[in-house]
Chains A and B, each alone.
Chain A
Amino acid sequence: DAKTTQPPSMDCAEGRAANLPCNHSTISGNEYVYWYRQIHSQGPQYIIHGLKNNETNEMASLIITEDRKSSTLILPHATLRDTAVYYCIVRVADNAGNMLTFGGGTRLMVKP
């Protein structure tokens, strides 16, 4: 799996957009970008994933650069409850069961 690089921490003001970057310069053509977050003392929560097109769901938007070497997770209106560690993971999709390799993630602190 391609390695990802994320800033260790970020701050965001409540109500503002939180833009979390992820670098995955060695990504292969068949690897997806997945985003998860982990709120303190809980299991990771799936947010969104994509291959090459930008994606949006009720939680967030995922912007993937044209060369696919980086992506940005956007929380459009961050709330205090969005304070968590956000993990960007790159993984090949397969039907054999795809375990995830977690890096350090980005600790997002949403401040009032």
Chain B
Amino acid sequence: GAVVSQHPSWVICKSGTSVKIECRSLDFQATTMFWYRQFPKQSLMLMATSNEGSKATYEQGVEKDKFLINHASLTLSTLTVTSAHPEDSSFYICSARDPNGGGNQPQHFGDGTRLSIL
């Protein structure tokens, strides 16, 4: 079945550094991937839609200059948290859908990246 891989699974870094998170679709090509953020005891919130070969679409309140998204190939999207600060500490999750099989195919999620900024 469709598999989405996310790397790294856990990052701890100092305030002010930039962190890159990768999301790969392993056995299908995805023109669209989604990035979510989840704070403790809260539900997932969509941050942005990553579009292969074009600019990402950001949700209201998400700073595009802080959360850089690159979708350079049909199997890879990256999220870079620039100049990270403690308030950026969160659980970041990506998802993608295998377009084959019809429009009702479900989204599949990566295992998430837990980002801790000291």
Write the residues of chain A forming the contact surface with B, with a CB cutoff of 8 angstroms: 32, 34, 36, 38, 41-46, 49, 51, 87, 93-105
Contact = CB atoms under 8 A, between A and B. Distances in A.
Interface residues of B, number: 28
B94 to A, nearest CB: 8
B106 A43 contact: no
B7 interface: no
Contact of A46 (B36, B108, B111): B108
Nearest to A44: B109
Interface of B: 4, 6, 31-32, 34, 36, 43-46, 49, 91, 93, 95, 97, 99, 102-112, 114
Contact of B43 (A43, A46, A104): A104
Contacts, number: 65
B43 A105 contact: yes
B93 A43 contact: yes
Given A49-B104, A51-B104, A100-B95, A44 B49 contact: no
Most chain-B Cβ atoms within 10 A of its Cβ — which of A93, A103, A104? A93
A18 to B, nearest CB: 20
